[in-house]
């Protein structure tokens, strides 16, 4: 805080919710499972819900042999987020799984719980029932990040970060192995499991 | 952009709530009093949990509740809504001196529906026993982000982040009957803007004591 004028001169790219869970089996190894969820209220491709789920990020295993999938209720939006957001993040662009993603329509999605304590997103698509759980939730922090402090380094960001110390990803009742690890965002020590609410990406003027 | 680069990336204040907070303020004449006020909350995070609430003051200067006057609040979470009314709505300039705000009838929500694409129009509908309240925004403009400090904030004490979309036309209906009045122009952070707006992805922060 503050801008020189309360109205930001940049262009809103998209706004919504963007929680995620990134797990490792070995703290020094690669990510063993990744879930990145999007509930988009407003974007150039409209509204919608998208889930990037990678059960084997280091492998090119297409569904149903592997569960490296992009679930969506708006295919155009899913492709837009993949191209302009997910693959702009260096950690994702380098993953073999992102080269062989299966796009699958979502049949149902709902949130449950309380973001003060334990929160979950439940998604059904094809033969998949997925539950993402953020437990051990912390105190929320409002972030206003210049482009250079974001993963893609192109756009500015407003978001509300609530970290989770005990997350889990379940596919058809099976919990994926791995634990969150420490990360630093804008100088804050946090974890690789997080709720991001009221998230707005802004292209600088 | 120099201003952004020099800003503090982590707001040190206490997050009060996050969610959506669109409104519609109607007048019968541009210089007259408000004749219909509507505000909606969809709260994703707060100290009092999640919930949705719609406050309609169809007779803002009448200290009576529904059905004697068209003043009511429909909510899925009364504790949350009492907090929102006391700490936020009662500080908003358009609401704070309205006798109806204290007199409005509180109703427990039976259903809530959001509809629209947020490109051209958007509608929030809440129902309670004997009552259906609907807020409709149309002719929506381009979204823009705002970031305000207590000096410019509607409560006078918070930092607030939001995305606004101006609505050139809007209506508030109670049991199928539209409230009288029209949206009008107001100066909003130095820009002429309609008194009907969508406000999504809001975060309200109480600044730390310095």
Query: A15-26: per-residue pLDDT in tens?
Result: 999 999 999 999
Chain A neighbors of B50, CB-CB under 8 A: 114-115
Q: Do B145 and A12 touch (CB under 8 A)?
A: yes
Chain A neighbors of B119, CB-CB under 8 A: 42, 46
Q: Which of B18, B121, B200 to mutate to test the interface with A (most CBs of A within 10 A)?
A: B18
Peptide bond into A195 cis (omega under 30): no
Which residue from A minimizes the CA distance to B189?
A6
Alpha helices (H) in B34-193, listed in sequence order: 78-87, 99-103
B121-141 mean pLDDT:
97
Q: Which residues 47-106 of B are in CB contact (within 8 Å) with A?
A: 47, 49-50
β-strands A68-72, A102-105 pairing: parallel
Asked if A110 has any chain B CB less than 8 Å from its own CB, the reply is no
The pLDDT score that the predictor gives to residue B189 is 82
Longest dimension (CA), chain B: 55
The pLDDT score that the predictor gives to residue A149 is 92
Q: Indicate the pLDDT class of residue B188, thresholds 50, 70 and 90.
A: confident
**Entry pTM:** 0.95
Check whether B3 has a pLDDT greater than 60. no
Check whether B75 has a pLDDT greater than 70. yes
Share of chain A above pLDDT 90, in %: 94
The pLDDT score that the predictor gives to residue A2 is 59
ipTM, two decimals, is 0.95
What does the pLDDT look like over A85-98, one tens digit per residue? Answer: 999 998 899 999 99
Do residues A123 and A106 touch, judged by C-beta distance below 8 A? yes
Asked if A202 has any chain B CB less than 8 Å from its own CB, the reply is yes
The alpha carbon of residue B185 is apart from the nearest alpha carbon of chain A, in Å, by: 17
Tell me whether residue B29 is exposed, middle or buried, using C-beta atoms within 10 angstroms of its C-beta: 0 to 12, 13 to 18, 19 or more.
exposed
What does the pLDDT look like over B92-129, one tens digit per residue? Answer: 999 998 999 999 999 999 999 999 999 999 999 999 99
The pLDDT score that the predictor gives to residue A57 is 96
Q: Which residues 79-98 of A are in CB contact (within 8 Å) with B?
A: none
Q: Indicate the pLDDT class of residue B6, thresholds 50, 70 and 90.
A: low
Share of chain B above pLDDT 90, in %: 90
- Residue B8 has its nearest CB partner, among A1, A16, A205, at A1
What does the pLDDT look like over B147-180, one tens digit per residue? Answer: 999 999 999 999 999 999 999 999 999 999 999 9
Best CA proximity match to A180, nearest among A37, A56, A31, A38: A31
Which of these ranges, A130-144, B6-20, B63-77, has the smallest mean pLDDT?
Answer: B6-20
CA angle A58, A62, A63 (to 5 degrees): 125
Q: What is the mean pLDDT of chain B?
A: 94
The pLDDT score that the predictor gives to residue B8 is 84
Asked if A43 has any chain B CB less than 8 Å from its own CB, the reply is no
Q: Do A187 and B10 touch (CB under 8 A)?
A: yes
Do residues A53 and A22 touch, judged by C-beta distance below 8 A? no
């Amino acid at each position: 805080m503050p801008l020189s004028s309360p109205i930001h001169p940049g262009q809103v790219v998209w706004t919504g919710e963007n929680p995620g869970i990134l797990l490792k089996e070995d703290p020094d190894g690669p990510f063993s499972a990744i879930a990145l969820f999007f509930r988009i209220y407003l974007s150039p491709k409209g509204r919608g819900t998208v889930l990037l789920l990678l059960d084997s990020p280091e492998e090119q295993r297409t569904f149903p042999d592997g569960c490296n999938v992009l679930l969506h209720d708006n295919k155009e939006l899913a492709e837009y987020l993949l191209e302009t957001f997910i693959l702009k993040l260096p950690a994702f662009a380098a993953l073999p799984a992102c080269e062989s993603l299966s796009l699958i329509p979502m049949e149902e999605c709902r949130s449950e719980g309380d973001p003060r304590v334990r929160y979950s997103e439940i998604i059904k698509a094809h033969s998949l029932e997925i539950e993402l759980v953020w437990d051990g939730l912390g105190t929320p922090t409002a972030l206003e990040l210049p482009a250079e402090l974001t993963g893609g380094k192109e756009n500015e960001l407003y978001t509300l970060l609530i970290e989770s110390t005990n997350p889990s990803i379940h596919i058809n009742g099976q919990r994926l192995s791995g634990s969150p690890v420490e990360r630093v965002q804008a100088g804050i020590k946090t974890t690789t499991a997080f709720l991001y609410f009221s998230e707005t990406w802004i292209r600088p003027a | 952009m120099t201003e952004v680069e020099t800003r503090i990336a982590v707001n040190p204040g206490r997050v009060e709530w996050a969610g959506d907070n669109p409104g519609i303020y109607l007048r019968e004449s541009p210089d007259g009093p408000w004749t219909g006020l509507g505000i909606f909350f969809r709260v994703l995070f707060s100290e009092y949990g999640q919930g949705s609430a719609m406050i309609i003051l169809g007779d803002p200067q009448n200290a009576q509740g529904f059905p004697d006057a068209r003043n009511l609040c429909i909510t899925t979470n009364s504790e949350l809504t009492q907090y929102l009314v006391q700490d936020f709505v009662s500080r908003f300039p358009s609401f704070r001196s309205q006798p109806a705000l204290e007199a409005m009838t509180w109703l427990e929500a039976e259903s809530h529906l959001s509809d629209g694409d947020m490109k051209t129009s958007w509608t929030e509908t809440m129902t309670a026993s004997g009552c259906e309240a609907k807020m409709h925004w149309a002719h929506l403009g381009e979204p823009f982000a705002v970031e305000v400090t207590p000096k410019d904030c509607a409560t006078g004490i918070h930092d607030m982040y939001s995305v606004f979309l101006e609505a050139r036309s809007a209506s508030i209906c109670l049991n199928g009957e539209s409230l009288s009045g029209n949206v009008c122009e107001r100066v909003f952070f130095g820009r002429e803007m309609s008194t009907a707006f969508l406000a999504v992805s809001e975060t309200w922060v109480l600044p730390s004591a310095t």
